[in-house]
Structure 1
Amino acid sequence: MSRAEPLAPDATSDGKTHFEVLDGLRGTAALLVVAFHIQGITVLFEANRLLLPHAYLAVDFFFALSGFVVGYAYDDRWGRMTVRGFLARRLVRLHPLVVLGAVLGLVSYCVDPFAGDRQNAPWLLIVLGFVAALLALPSAPLPNRLGDSHPLNAPAWTLLQEYIANLAYALVLRRLGVWPLLALTALAATVSAATALTLGSYDTGWGLSNFWGAPVRLAYPFLAGLLLYRVRHRLPRIRLGFLPLSLVLLLAFAAPVLPEVHGVKLNGLYQAACVLLLFPTILVLGQHSSGGALTLRLCKVAGRISYPLYITHYPFVYVYMNWVAPAPASPAATAAVAILLYLFTLLFAAAALQLWDMPIRQRLQARISRGGSTVPPRR
């Protein structure tokens, strides 16, 4: 009887092995932010009633991971790859699920059985919102959507920032050496810290009224992730592992909301420490970490499901919000429905990955390969 082949980490389209623990941590962050949204919507995100009051910082962690991974996957491909080819690859990687999220958001807005008359909006406004959602663009506010800049699928605001970061990388950042990149990262860190200390949190960027905060939240983590990739060989090789680092994320997100003391907004100071110091440290520790077969399997599953889960769960959360809003059920019934919803979003994300995202990406990637999105090597 032959032995089964050992489980291997996932690989990029160029054949590079994924950082398995960082993949897994992306999944951990996605699981935590979904729990935050489901529980938070029942209390309209009142900070002192949240079980994971800092979990929206998962977005900032995603941006840091993105900077690191984009550098790893593409820094050495320029010369064989055009800007157009890079942008096409990023669209193929990200946009099929953006489209699915937009469709889910439209359905949840138009046929929500619990919404009553709270979502009666002019059809033209809904159509324009849907077209914008298909492109990951902000749109005019819709009733009963809490001022979200992307009212049919709120988390899509981060995908717009992801595209902006990818464009900045392709046009400018890929050309920068370590020292100019370090200077930009330091500037972004200063603006980031000033924002957190002024507002008392990083809870900005998601709405039309605070959309200015989106690029502020994007800049430092993405630049820091890219910088850490560029200097990775000069950093200490310290390992901690997937489960301990997942616990660190959980504890960071579950910490209590801190008060203002003598004019200093301690909550903003705490969140700035997470974004500016803790998350880059986790990247450094996670990139060198590994584990046994079980850990690798957990990381692969968590990493694969993280993006489908993040970008498809919120339309279902809207429906849950409308079920809770008019006449709150008992705490036990609300908790039971919340748990069932959480499990459902996981199953739906797995199905979306297998039945929607992967088949579409494979077809689109085949077209890119046939069309020749790279330039021939110089002789």
Structure 2
Amino acid sequence: MNNITLSSKPHYPILDGLRGVAAIIVVTFHLAEPLGTGHLDIIVNHGYLAVDFFFLLSGFVIGYAYDDRWPKMTFGIFFRLRVERLQPLVILGMTLGAIGFYFTDSTLWPLIHTVPIWRMLLVMLIGYTILPIPLSMDIRGWQEMHPLNSVGWSLFFEYIANILYGLWIRKFSNTALSVLVAISAIALAQLAISYGDVSGGWTLNTEQVRIGLTRTMYPFFAGLLLSRVAKPTHIKHAFLLCSILVAAALYMPRIGGAEHLWRNGLYESFCIIILFPLIVYLGASGVVQTQAERKICRFLGDISYPLYLVHYPLVYFYVAWISNNKGVTVAQAWPYALAILVGAIILAYIALKWYDEPVRRWLRSKRQTI
């Protein structure tokens, strides 16, 4: 490819800001998770739905950014652009996870110090590709695709959705895409209602891969469809309204308890299938009211992806501390949790400015000289 120049389009600043809001809630979910005994009593109970919200945002943005560029663009160009955007922080996140691996002494991971360095480095190198490791290579004991940085599983499915879009689904008419989205919505609702939630997708086995694909297909391609058919209006105070809706959905306590799991599944189906597309539509229609609001949205959007990729290596230390001090209460844990949250945001900003942006500028310069 010679001097590839793809015309840039205006961003949706409110959608950028909402991505940052959801990323911060993900961190609070991971900080609250070890204080619960299971899905039923986690304080940030539906925080994992932020991943489904990310998938929907991603589908919307991909459709908006690329749908009309295909006459000038091959799949190879598209995939390279996606790799340039996603992989630098994947590599950083896996590296941070590897650096911290042997320092997380915990009763949860008693075998960590028996793992040879070469094996850990091999897992890290595979993690750089975002390809999942088989269960036989699990070095932490949580049966994760990426035991050095747990959140890598969602990037694996993000790539699958991007590849499906670039090779095939981008060619769908709106009617065909609507049929795919409807079928995917039914599959998602069936999963959520039968299991009681959609939590899962991070293990390389048949059941968990099915969960991961089901969680990806509806929101990503619903976002794509929305980018094609939505006609945004002009809505004031959309950022505040949408932020409240996102926070309310993700901080909602568990519904139905152990006796009525289907009720919680119904709630999650409603959030992913109806509420999240509505929030994205409102956000795309929103008008930034002040310069301060614009700066907030930009900052939140800028740190959202770095925060998602770098926070979990810090969370491992926090989880180890909780496991080594049985009976830690919320009152005792919150100062440490707040420190991790603030530290993760600072680390994300540093990663953005000192690593991600320079690396992506370099990759763009190399691409334009090919």
Deviation at 1:254, TM superposition (A): 1.5
- Any idea what SS the aligned residue of 1:313 has? helix
1:121 touches 1:143 (CA, 8 Å); kept in 2? no
Query: Secondary structure at the residue paired with 1:259?
Result: coil
Structure 2 distance, partners of 1:36, 1:173, is 33
Distance (Å, rounded) in 2 between the aligned partners of 1:308 and 1:263: 37
Partner Cα separation in structure 1 for residue 144 and residue 259 of structure 2: 33
2:322–2:328 contact (8 Å) kept in structure 1:
no
Aligned residue in 1 for 2:100: 108
Letter matched to residue 368 of structure 1: R
1:230 and 1:82 mapped to 2: Cα distance?
Answer: 20
Shift of 1:139: 1.3
After superposition, the Cα gap between the structure-2 partners of 1:145 and 1:304, relative to the gap in structure 1 and judged at 3 Å, is: farther
Opposite residue 107 of structure 1, the aligned amino acid is I
Name the structure 2 match of 1:222.
Answer: 220
Worse overlay, 135-144 or 100-109: 135-144
State the alpha-carbon separation in 1 of the partners of residues 222 and 367 from structure 2: 30
**CA offsets, 1:195-224, max 9 Å, x none?**
001100011212335232111100000110
**Residues 16-69 of structure 1: per-residue CA shift (max 9 Å, x gap):** 11101111000000000111101213336x223322100100000000000000
Classify 1:227/1:330 alpha carbon distance in 2 versus 1 (closer, same or farther; 3 Å).
closer
Q: Which residue of 1 aligns with 2:172?
A: 176
The equivalent of 1:208 in structure 2 is: 204
Cα distance, 1:146 vs structure 2? 2.4
Structure 2 segments unaligned to the other structure (5+ residues): none
Change (3 A) 1:66 1:370: same
Which residues of structure 1 form unaligned runs of 5+?
Answer: 1-11, 372-379
| 1:306 pairs with one of 298, 304, 307 | 304
Q: Distance in 1 between matches of 2:84 and 2:52?
A: 23
Structure 2 counterpart of 1:136: 130
Of residues 152, 159, 166 in structure 2, which corresponds to 1:156?
Answer: 152
Quote the residue 2:83 is aligned against.
91
Paired residue for 1:271? 268
The one of 29, 42, 56 aligned to 1:50: 42
Cα distance change, pair 13–349 in 1 and its aligned pair in 2 (3 A): farther
Letter in 2 for 1:93: R
- More deviation, 220-229/71-80: 71-80
Q: What are the Cα deviations for residues 284-341 of structure 1, in whole angstroms up to 9, with x where unaligned? A: 1110102221111110000000000001110111111112212247544422111111
Instruction: Decide whether the 8 Å contact of 1:238 with 1:284 is kept in 2.
Output: no
After superposition, where does 1:1-379 map in structure 2 within 5 Å?
14-43=7-36, 46-112=38-104, 117-123=110-116, 124-141=118-135, 142-209=138-205, 210-233=208-231, 241-259=238-256, 265-291=262-288, 292-328=290-326, 331=329, 332-371=331-370
- Paired positions, count: 358
Letter of the structure 2 residue corresponding to residue 154 of structure 1: S
Question: Is contact 1:239–1:285 with CA below 8 Å preserved after alignment?
Answer: no
Distance across 2 between alignment mates of 1:239 and 1:262 = 42
Aligned equivalents of 2:6, 2:243: Cα separation in 1: 27
Give per-residue Cα distances to partners, 1:123-168, cap 9 Å, x unaligned. 2542332122111121144354522221111111111111111111
Which stretch shows the higher mean deviation, 92-101 or 163-172?
163-172
CA spacing shift, 1:79–1:121, aligned 2, 3 Å: farther
Higher mean displacement: 71-80 or 322-331: 322-331
Q: Which letter does structure 2 place at the counterpart of 1:282?
A: I
Q: Aligned residues: percent identity?
A: 36
In 2, Cα distance between equivalents of 1:150 and 1:221? 23
- Matched-pair contact (CA < 8 Å) for 1:178–1:227: yes
Let me know the Cα RMSD of the aligned residues.
Answer: 2.1
Inter-partner Cα distance in structure 2 for 1:321 and 1:243: 32
Q: Distance in 1 between matches of 2:7 and 2:35?
A: 44
Q: Point out the more displaced range, 317-326 or 84-93.
A: 317-326
Aligned equivalents of 2:45, 2:211: Cα separation in 1: 19
SS in 1 for 2:224: helix
Q: Which amino acid aligns with 2:124?
A: F
TM-score by length of 1: 0.89
Deviates more, 1:60-69 or 1:204-213: 204-213
Alpha-carbon deviation of 1:258?
1.3
Partner of 1:377: none
Q: Give the alignment's TM-score, normalised by structure 2.
A: 0.91
Per-residue CA distance 1:176-198 (angstroms, 9 max, x = gap) = 11101001101111111110011
Asked whether the 8 Å contact 1:197–1:268 carries over to 2, the reply is yes
Paired amino acid for 2:242? L
